[in-house]
Amino acid sequence: MTRVAAIDCGTNSIRLLIADVDGNGSSSTLTDVVREMRVVRLGQGVDATGELAQEALDRTFAATSDYAGLIREHGAGKVRFVATSATRDARNRKVFVDGIREILGVEPEVITGDEEAALSFAGASSVLPSRGAAPVLVVDLGGGSTEFVLGDASGVIAAKSVDVGCVRMTERHLRNDPPSAEQIAAAEADVDAAISEAGLAVPLDRTTAVVGVAGSVTTITAHALRLPEYSPGIIHGTELPLGTFGEACTDLLEMSKADRAGLPYMHPGRVDVIGAGGLVWRRVLERLAEVTEGRITSAVASEHDILDGIALSIS
């Protein structure tokens, strides 16, 4: 058994998983020791400026320093730090890379969209029942990008990362509170184009089951269930009809920020972007129903995602 530390630094949040890994390769299992999440909004303004803002870097470095202390405290022998969409897009990512290296003592990896997709699938599929040869689509809905990964028991069949996410769509289109019909239509056009782009690389019509991962999807699930608080144990593995997800997405999209902030399962760092997350998830599910000619009627939410994939990759 090996104790590892995985850090996933995305556009909206930075997350830490310290876990004990038992086994090797695809047969490995994870036992959580520490699982933490901080909303640092590293991707603040990146879509417009092409650079990481200094205040966003400062927030991310502060969270990483806290994580470094937890890693030392719990004796993780191996550490992997992975950065995704916002850092990929930033001209000044060297400042970020140098800062993380100094704080953590390891080289942060700015991974490609395809690598992100593969890690997301590994994390999600590690906790799903085996479906053998039946292809499962994992959709990782992040802050700056969304990954579509089709795979089966043998691994990834095809994957594509596209530049639509809850932070990017909020900053680009959904500026009003709540957003206007024109803003929603413009965001949907971007999302539809991105799904079409993904469909050129990933045979979406082969999908037999859909798993949604990351904070937007799990928060939408909590809203659909009207939970009294955010409860990963209840959310993880929940399967809901597409219509139920769609209603929850529309509700969050049309709410004011003040109303969202009052929801007992809403993280403060998601209040301003969850509407865009709902828009993306709703349109993805609608398109999947279309391309599979109604075969897909439900979707599953998973609390296990790229962070678990990173941890499994270390061993």
Q: Omega of the bond prior to 178 within 30 degrees of 0, cis?
A: yes
Q: For residue 139, which of 228, 242, 43 has the smallest C-alpha distance?
A: 242
The amino acid at residue 76 is A
How high is the pLDDT of residue 315?
Answer: 66
How high is the pLDDT of residue 81?
Answer: 97
The string of DSSP letters for the chain reads -EEEEEEEE-SSEEEEEEEEEESSGGG-EEEEEEEEEEE--TTTTHHHHSS--HHHHHHHHHHHHHHHHHHHHHT-SEEEEEE-HHHHH-TTHHHHHHHHHHHHSS--EE--HHHHHHHHHHHHHTTSPP-TTS-EEEEEE-SS-EEEEEEETTEEEEEEEES--HHHHHHHT--SSSPPHHHHHHHHHHHHHHHHHHHHHS-GGG-SEEEEESHHHHHHHHHHHT-SS--HHHHTT-EEEHHHHHHHHHHHHHS-HHHHHTSTT--GGGTTTHHHHHHHHHHHHHHHHHHTTT---EEEEES-SHHHHHHHHH-
Give me the average pLDDT of each 10-residue run along the chain (315 residues): 93 93 74 93 88 95 97 96 84 93 94 84 71 82 92 88 93 95 97 97 95 94 98 94 98 97 96 97 97 95 91 85
Do the Cβ atoms of 74 and 29 come closer than 8 Å?
no
How high is the pLDDT of residue 132?
Answer: 58
Q: How far apart are CA 137 and CA 206, in angstroms?
A: 9
How high is the pLDDT of residue 55?
Answer: 95
How high is the pLDDT of residue 129?
Answer: 58
CA 128 from chain centre, in angstroms, equals 17
Structure pTM? 0.87
Q: How far apart are CA 146 and CA 164, in angstroms?
A: 6
How high is the pLDDT of residue 130?
Answer: 57
Give the tokens for residue 221. Answer: 């699930």
Q: For residue 32, which of 9, 10, 8, 16 has the smallest C-alpha distance?
A: 16
Give the tokens for residue 248. Answer: 């929850």
Do the Cβ atoms of 122 and 114 come closer than 8 Å?
no
